[in-house]
Amino acid sequence: MNKRFAILMLVLIFSISLFVGCSSQKPNTTNTPTNSSKNETAEDTHSLAVPEKIIYYGKGNTTTFTKDDNKFNALVNEINARTKGIKGSYSSIFMLDDDLKKKGTLLELDYTEKHTFEYTRDNGDKETFTYTKLYFDLDKNDDISNEMSFEGDGYGPVGPLLPGDKLLDILSAIWD
């Protein structure tokens, strides 16, 4: 009888422990894979990564935004919104030169490491490229203002970008 009682108590304690352990565990609601050997989470490749800094060239001036600036997050959000229209790469060459920085209205996003961006082409195929710098010509009179150029691996520039009016609104008060 004592042997049966002891076994029954062990089964009961084990069952209670199992129940308490399972019910206190937080549910895993994310479907993003992780690399446990490096303890990193997967990068969201359908949005641009948050840059270290954003450089705005316009009207012959240069302004650098960092994560501490109050306009930084608004700029990143609007830039990400513009990229939702990307459907493919262009055969044209987005030439970044000093003239474009001096005469144009250009945003440059700088990163300290490579990131990946994925978009869906018109035919449904997925395309990716890696980048360490991104460039956006915001001059509406340029035919490349709907393209995003990048430094990294892949074919570019890519586009079309959605309109950049909100970006221009955010930036308009800087030098006025």
| Residue ranges with strand state E in the chain | 34-35, 40-41, 53-58, 61-66, 88-89, 106-120, 126-137, 148-153, 158-159
β-bridge mates for residue 107, sequence order: 56, 136
Does some domain include residue 22? no
pLDDT at 38: 37
Does some domain include residue 71? yes
36 vs 7, which has greater pLDDT? 7
pTM (predicted TM-score): 0.70
- 121-167 pLDDT per residue, tens: 888 899 999 999 999 988 877 777 888 888 888 767 888 998 888 88
pLDDT at 44: 57
Count each helix (H run) and each strand (E run) in the chain, helices first: 4, 9
pLDDT at 2: 77
- 43-88 pLDDT per residue, tens: 556 789 999 999 998 878 889 999 999 899 999 999 999 999 999 8
Q: Which amino acid is at 31?
A: N
pLDDT at 126: 92
pLDDT at 51: 97
pLDDT at 96: 63
Does some domain include residue 35? no
pLDDT at 28: 36
pLDDT at 37: 34
Does some domain include residue 30? no
Dist CA 28 CA 30 (whole Å): 6
> Which residues form the domain of 159?
44-172
Does some domain include residue 36? no
CA distances (Å), 117 to each of 7, 40, 69, 81, in order?
58, 18, 25, 14
- 78-133 pLDDT per residue, tens: 999 999 999 988 776 655 666 667 767 889 999 999 999 999 988 889 999 999 99
Does some domain include residue 131? yes
Tell me how many domains the chain contains.
1
Does some domain include residue 26? no
Does some domain include residue 127? yes
